[in-house]
Chain A
Amino acid sequence: MSRWPMPSGCCSAARTAEVPTMSAVPQPLGPQAHGASPRRVGWRLPRAWVPYVLLSPFLLLFAVFGVFPLVFSLWLAFQSWEPTSGLASMRFVGLENFVFALQDEWFWKSLGNTGWLALVSGVPQHLVAIPLACFIHAALRRSRNAMVGAYFVPYITSTVAIAILFSSLFSTDYGLINAALGVLLPGDPVDWLNDPQRIKPAIALIVFWRYVGFNLVLYLAALQTIPKDLYEAAKMDGASQLQQFFYITLPSLKPMIFFGVTLSVIGGLQLFEEPFILTGGRGGSDQAGMTTAIYLYRMAFDFNDFGAASAMSWLLFVLVVALTWLTHRAFNPRRKAD
Chain B
Amino acid sequence: MGLQQKGGGALRAWAALCLLALAALPVQAQRTLTVAAFPSVDEIIRAAAPAWKALHPDVQLKVVSRQFADHHTAMTTALSTASNLPDVMALEVGYVGRFAQGGGLDDLSAPPFGLKSEAKRYVPFALAQGSNRHGAVVAAPTDIGPGTLLYRADLLARSGLAEAELTQSWGSYVAAGLKIKAATGAYLMAHARDMKDIVIRTGLRPGEGLYFDGESRVLVSSPRFVRAFELAREVRRQKLDARVIAWSNEWAEGFKRGTIATQMSGAWLAGHLNHWLAPSTAGAWRAAQLPEGAFVAYGGTFLAVPRGVPPAQKALAWDLIRLLTLERGMQLAAFKAQDAFPALLETFEDPFFGQPIAFLGGQPARLLWRDAARRIQAVAVHKQDAFADEVINTELDKVLDRGKDIHVALADAERLLQRRAHR
User: Which A positions have Cβ atoms within 8 angstroms of B?
Assistant: 80-87, 89, 100, 103-106, 167-168, 171-174, 191, 194-196, 280-282, 285-287, 301-306, 308
Closest Cβ of chain A to B244, distance in Å, is 8
**Docked-complex contact A303 and B401, CB < 8 angstroms:** no
Asked if B386 lies at the interface with its beta carbon under 8 angstroms from chain A, I say yes
Question: 11 A-B contacts, Cβ less than 8 Å apart?
Answer: A82-B103, A83-B79, A84-B102, A86-B80, A89-B102, A172-B250, A173-B250, A196-B401, A281-B69, A301-B73, A304-B76
- In this complex, how many residues of chain B approach chain A with their Cβ under 8 Å: the count is 37
Closest Cβ of chain A to B200, distance in Å, is 19
Q: Report Cα–Cα, A80/B383, bound state, in Å.
A: 14
**Docked-complex contact A84 and B250, CB < 8 angstroms:** no
**Docked-complex contact A282 and B390, CB < 8 angstroms:** yes
Closest Cβ of chain A to B258, distance in Å, is 13
Closest Cβ of chain A to B67, distance in Å, is 12
Asked if B5 lies at the interface with its beta carbon under 8 angstroms from chain A, I say no
**Docked-complex contact A301 and B249, CB < 8 angstroms:** no
Closest to A86 in B: B82
Closest to A90 in B: B80
Partner of A285, one of B82, B384, B394: B394
**Docked-complex contact A85 and B102, CB < 8 angstroms:** yes
**Docked-complex contact B249 and A100, CB < 8 angstroms:** no
Q: Report Cα–Cα, A43/B291, bound state, in Å.
A: 83
**Docked-complex contact B101 and A82, CB < 8 angstroms:** yes
Closest to A305 in B: B423
Partner of B249, one of A83, A104, A174, A302: A174
Taking A81-B80, A82-B101, A304-B386 as given, write out 12 further A-B residue pairs in contact, using a Cβ cutoff of 8 Å, ordered by the A residue number. A84-B79, A84-B104, A85-B103, A86-B102, A86-B103, A86-B308, A87-B80, A89-B102, A174-B249, A196-B401, A303-B387, A304-B76
Closest to B78 in A: A84
Which are the 10 A-B pairs with shortest beta-carbon distances?
A84-B102, A83-B80, A85-B102, A84-B104, A85-B103, A84-B79, A82-B102, A285-B397, A303-B387, A84-B99
Q: Report Cα–Cα, A282/B391, bound state, in Å.
A: 12
**Chain A proximity mask over B76-118: 1 for CB below 8 Å, otherwise 0:** 1101111000000000000000110111110000000000000
When distances are taken between beta carbons in the complex, the residues of chain A under 8 Å from B390 are 282
Q: Report Cα–Cα, A171/B245, bound state, in Å.
A: 12
Asked if B327 lies at the interface with its beta carbon under 8 angstroms from chain A, I say no
Asked if B416 lies at the interface with its beta carbon under 8 angstroms from chain A, I say yes
**Docked-complex contact A168 and B416, CB < 8 angstroms:** no
When distances are taken between beta carbons in the complex, the residues of chain B under 8 Å from A86 are 79-82, 102-104, 307-308
**Chain A proximity mask over B224-250: 1 for CB below 8 Å, otherwise 0:** 000000000000000000011101111
When distances are taken between beta carbons in the complex, the residues of chain A under 8 Å from B245 are 194, 280
Q: Report Cα–Cα, A174/B252, bound state, in Å.
A: 12
Q: Report Cα–Cα, A246/B289, bound state, in Å.
A: 72
Asked if B120 lies at the interface with its beta carbon under 8 angstroms from chain A, I say no
**Docked-complex contact B102 and A303, CB < 8 angstroms:** no
When distances are taken between beta carbons in the complex, the residues of chain B under 8 Å from A82 are 101-103
**Docked-complex contact A84 and B105, CB < 8 angstroms:** yes
**Docked-complex contact A105 and B416, CB < 8 angstroms:** yes
Asked if B398 lies at the interface with its beta carbon under 8 angstroms from chain A, I say yes
- Most B CB contacts (10 A, CB to CB) among A84, A173, A195, A281 go to A84
When distances are taken between beta carbons in the complex, the residues of chain B under 8 Å from A280 are 245, 247-248
When distances are taken between beta carbons in the complex, the residues of chain B under 8 Å from A281 are 69
Closest Cβ of chain A to B250, distance in Å, is 6
Closest Cβ of chain B to A268, distance in Å, is 24
**Docked-complex contact A287 and B394, CB < 8 angstroms:** yes
When distances are taken between beta carbons in the complex, the residues of chain A under 8 Å from B79 are 83-86
Given A85-B102, A167-B249: A100 touches B423 (CB 8 Å cut-off): yes
Given A87-B82, A105-B416, A168-B249: A194 touches B243 (CB 8 Å cut-off): yes
**Docked-complex contact A304 and B98, CB < 8 angstroms:** yes
Given A174-B249, A301-B76: A195 touches B401 (CB 8 Å cut-off): yes
Closest Cβ of chain A to B360, distance in Å, is 26
**Docked-complex contact B253 and A174, CB < 8 angstroms:** yes
When distances are taken between beta carbons in the complex, the residues of chain B under 8 Å from A103 are 419
When distances are taken between beta carbons in the complex, the residues of chain A under 8 Å from B105 are 84
Given A286-B394, A287-B394: A171 touches B423 (CB 8 Å cut-off): no
Closest Cβ of chain B to A287, distance in Å, is 7
Q: Report Cα–Cα, A194/B105, bound state, in Å.
A: 38
**Docked-complex contact A171 and B101, CB < 8 angstroms:** no
**Docked-complex contact B398 and A286, CB < 8 angstroms:** yes
Q: Report Cα–Cα, A286/B409, bound state, in Å.
A: 12
**Docked-complex contact A83 and B76, CB < 8 angstroms:** yes
Q: Report Cα–Cα, A80/B422, bound state, in Å.
A: 12
Closest to A299 in B: B387
Q: Report Cα–Cα, A243/B249, bound state, in Å.
A: 51
